[in-house]
Amino acid sequence: MKTETVLPVVADPLKREESHQKGSSMTKKGAYAAISYMASAVLLVMFNKAALSSYSFPSSNVITLFQMLCSCSLLYAMKCWNIISFNTDEQHSISNNPTTLVPFDKLVHTLPLALSYLLYMLVTMESVRTISVPMYTTLRRTTVAFTMIVEYLLTGKKHSLPVIGSIGIIILGAFIAGARDLSFDAYGYAVVFIANICTAIYLASIVRIGKSSGLNSFGLMWCNGIICGPILLFWTSIRGDLQGMLNFPYLSIPGFQVVMLFSCIMAFLINYYVFLNTTLNSALTQTICGNLKDLFTIGLGWVLFGGLPFDLLNVIGQSLGFLGSCMYAYCKLYGK
């Protein structure tokens, strides 16, 4: 009998739901998922920054498309080699037939999750284009409030007063950090808040659909990829992004190819840890990790790429955001 090595998957969703309703503290596996997400996210930003800025690659959509193709290829290979499974209750791979990797009914069931993910990506890209970086960072950090509301509406999850207080500190720090840039742009602000809502819906959908679909993190990633991949391929084709990629002068340069390779690997890891962190912990925890990750990204980006002037209000705001994130982590670790 062939022995299978299975990578970590999400625990039983019913037991997980009971533990969250009781307000249990974060498990060691949950802490591992959160830390791994932040580490892979910081590295992904660095590699994407290198491709888009250092090599001046013309399209972020094409990078996202490559990341999806790489993710689906890795998932397909690991599934066929019995390294991973796609179902929470699957112990051994039954068939290597690509048509039975995920049943069609489960694919349809995850369609809202995939579409919310695609909408989240497109709206986020538009929000970056419309307003300045300081205000983008400020307004995006209010996602924690949207996530808490959407999480309650979709899953009925409530949070303690210490958790709500830590979120308030994070939001206050975000607005202090962006206080120097208060130019009002109604369209830009609206797009960012829509991006916040899309992010909150996407993260809450991971928990809701993940529990009801019977798929683990790898299965949900596979469904996301095969649904969103063709749509993004069509979108990049009609926009002319693919033609621009073919004319890119550094396409055959080994340095650029290495950057793209690691970007795709980090994107695969970050997608896995987003699903794992959200389902093991909560959508709100995932959002807090995203905020905390931004602080390390800013510091590492300043060291590697420079161009970030010193601003006292920004430092105070970032420090408050870090304090609020640490308070939230303390509440989760000790079940406050």
pLDDT score at 10: 44
Domain-located, residue 268: yes
- The DSSP call for residue 231 is H
The two structure tokens encoding residue 299: 């510091």
- Tell me the CA distances in angstroms from 273 to 54, 270, 314, one per residue in order: 27, 5, 29
Domain-located, residue 5: no
Say which residue the tokens 């391929």 belong to: 233
pLDDT score at 265: 92
pLDDT score at 97: 47
pLDDT score at 187: 78
pLDDT, one tens digit for every residue, the chain (336 residues):
444 444 544 444 434 444 444 444 567 787 888 888 888 877 887 788 788 777 888 888 888 889 899 999 999 999 888 888 888 765 544 444 454 588 888 888 899 888 888 887 777 766 656 666 556 666 777 788 788 887 777 767 777 888 888 888 888 887 777 666 655 667 777 887 888 888 888 888 887 887 788 888 888 899 999 999 999 999 889 988 888 888 888 888 999 999 999 989 998 998 888 888 887 777 777 777 776 776 666 666 555 555 455 567 777 877 787 787 778 777 766 666
Domain-located, residue 13: no
pLDDT score at 262: 92
Domain-located, residue 11: no
Given a contact cutoff of 8 angstroms between Cβ atoms, the answer to whether 261 and 47 are in contact is no
The two structure tokens encoding residue 106: 């489960």
Domain-located, residue 20: no
- The DSSP call for residue 113 is H
Domain-located, residue 92: no
Rounded (10°) angle between helices 186-213 and 283-305: 130
pLDDT score at 315: 73
Q: How far apart are the first and last CA of the chain?
A: 47
Domain-located, residue 15: no
Residue in 70, 89, 28, 75 with CA at minimum distance from that of residue 332? 28
Q: How far apart are CA 71 and CA 56, in angstroms?
A: 24
Q: Indicate the number of domains in the chain.
A: 1
Q: Provide CB contacts within 8 A for 261, sequence distance 6+.
A: none
Domain-located, residue 276: yes
Domain that holds residue 258: 27-86+102-334
